[in-house]
A and B are shown apart, each in its own frame.
Chain A
Amino acid sequence: MSGQTKVKLATAWLDGCSGCHMSLLDVDELLVALVERVELVYGPLVDTPEYPEAVDVALVEGAVSSIGDQKLAQTIRSKTRILISLGDCAVTSNVPSMRNTIPVKKLLERLYIEGADAAPAIPTDGVPALLRHAVPLAEVVKVDIHIPGCPPAPGAIAHVLTSLLDGKKPELAGLVKFG
């Protein structure tokens, strides 16, 4: 990866709590070095409406829970060279998967009809339909690197990013714990 053109980095936030993005920001002074070499082209940290073409690396947080998540995951895969699942929700589906034993209809009725104080109705406008299960990213698209952790340690994220920037294969042993 040459020093002339910056590496295009995207991040995405699917069904997660944004804690993994917080952990990304927690890489501290590495952010300064990253700015020199990386251009952040998409994600909750920048204001880009459409996922751009020819992205080098994408960090994806969260499980795939809705049709919207699924479409975005597929778009990211088709336009990205290296796709990374960031954190336990993306890697194992973690907390979002705790709804998986309850049928979607029953779940929504319990929350939006039985649990409503006023105007009981299941929201449909502007919200993508839920999938039957919240699943790990790797069950929907091919994932190149997994960074487990809830959230992943900033050191692990830093290691993966700097390794990739230096054209090396990240070695996560000893940097992450599973689950």
Chain B
Amino acid sequence: MDSKITIRIDGELVKTDRGASIFEAAKANGKHIPGLCNMKGLKPVGACRLCMVEVAGVNRLLPSCTTPAQEGMSVTIRSARLDAYRKQALELLLSERNHVCAVCVSNGHCELQSLATALGVTNVRYGYRYPKLGVDLSHPRYVLDHNRCILCTRCVRVCAEVEGAHVWDIAGRGIHSMLTCEMNRTWGASRNCTSCGKCVQVCPTGALAEKGFAVEEMIKRTASVERLTAVRGGGR
């Protein structure tokens, strides 16, 4: 069986590896699909809903990171309709918690913020929720600020799949979902955390940060984690 398949992306015929997701197929062919939860080397989960695409013959949008590319598939990754939905999804993420960029360690280096800018978001059309959320300062080196978390679960996956410690999980349901450390321990009381910091580096926002950084100072080293997963051959 040929290891390559052919699909159509925005009308253009492209070749891609059999088994690749639509997201990977697009990336391999130099086409960009926005996304916040997907990361090379980690198992895709389709959490952020920003990589939604249109597949011909399917009357609903599909997350491109978890949808395998199939021979003969015709995919639209850029359209006015998709732009509108992606903007909506992003604005909902912003309205859900307290993303006060002006005082955030990740201001200017934040994937959520730069994607908002790239999608042309100039305001959020939904009422902000202003939930009262905590900040976990108990770890000697790192901070968890729930106010900035978008529940992308990159931290959960990198810790479980790459570091093998599985410190993080998501507790609760729906709007009450929260990142939680080992059956609701504080991070500092964690028994499994190796303090490797991979969760911090892959976090797209200022939710996980190193201590000692002020506003705009926390620059994440996502690429180094991606390289590590490539060396280990982990994930996809």
Seen from chain A, the residues whose Cβ lies within 8 Å of a Cβ on chain B are: 85, 88, 91-95, 97-98, 100-101, 133, 135-136, 138-139, 143, 146-148, 150, 172-173, 176-179
Residue of B nearest to A137 (CB): B123
Interface size on B, residues (CB 8 A): 27
Assess the B101–A98 pair: CB atoms within 8 A: no
Assess the A143–B123 pair: CB atoms within 8 A: yes
The dominant DSSP class at the B interface is loop
Tell me if B107 is interfacial: C-beta within 8 Å of chain A: yes
Instruction: List 4 A-B pairs, minimum CB-CB distance, nearest first.
Output: A179-B101, A101-B132, A178-B116, A100-B130
Q: 8 Å CB contacts to A: which residues of B98-119?
A: 98-104, 107-108, 110, 113-114, 116-117
A77 to chain B, nearest CB (A): 16
A–B pairs, 30, beta carbons within 8 Å? A88-B101, A88-B102, A92-B123, A92-B128, A95-B100, A95-B102, A95-B103, A97-B130, A98-B100, A98-B103, A101-B130, A101-B132, A101-B133, A133-B130, A136-B128, A138-B123, A143-B123, A146-B123, A148-B123, A150-B101, A150-B102, A173-B120, A176-B117, A176-B122, A177-B108, A178-B117, A179-B99, A179-B110, A179-B113, A179-B116
Assess the B130–A178 pair: CB atoms within 8 A: no
B123 to chain A, nearest CB (A): 4
Most buried by A among B123, B127, B128, B132: B123
Residue of B nearest to A101 (CB): B132
Residue of A nearest to B124 (CB): A92
Known interface pairs A173-B120, A179-B113; 13 further A-B residue pairs with C-beta atoms within 8 A, sorted by A's residue number:
A91-B123, A92-B101, A92-B123, A92-B124, A95-B100, A97-B130, A98-B103, A100-B130, A101-B131, A177-B117, A178-B122, A179-B101, A179-B104
Tell which of A100, A136, A177 touches B123, judged by Cβ atoms closer than 8 Å.
A136
B199 to chain A, nearest CB (A): 23
Bound CA–CA A172/B117 (angstroms): 10
Q: Given A176-B122, A179-B99, do A135 and B128 touch, yes or no (CB 8 Å)?
A: yes
Chain A contacts of B128 at CB under 8 A?
92-93, 97, 135-136, 139
Chain B contacts of A138 at CB under 8 A?
123, 125
Chain B contacts of A147 at CB under 8 A?
122
Bound CA–CA A85/B120 (angstroms): 16
Q: Given A100-B130, A178-B116, A179-B116, do A85 and B102 touch, yes or no (CB 8 Å)?
A: no
A119 to chain B, nearest CB (A): 31
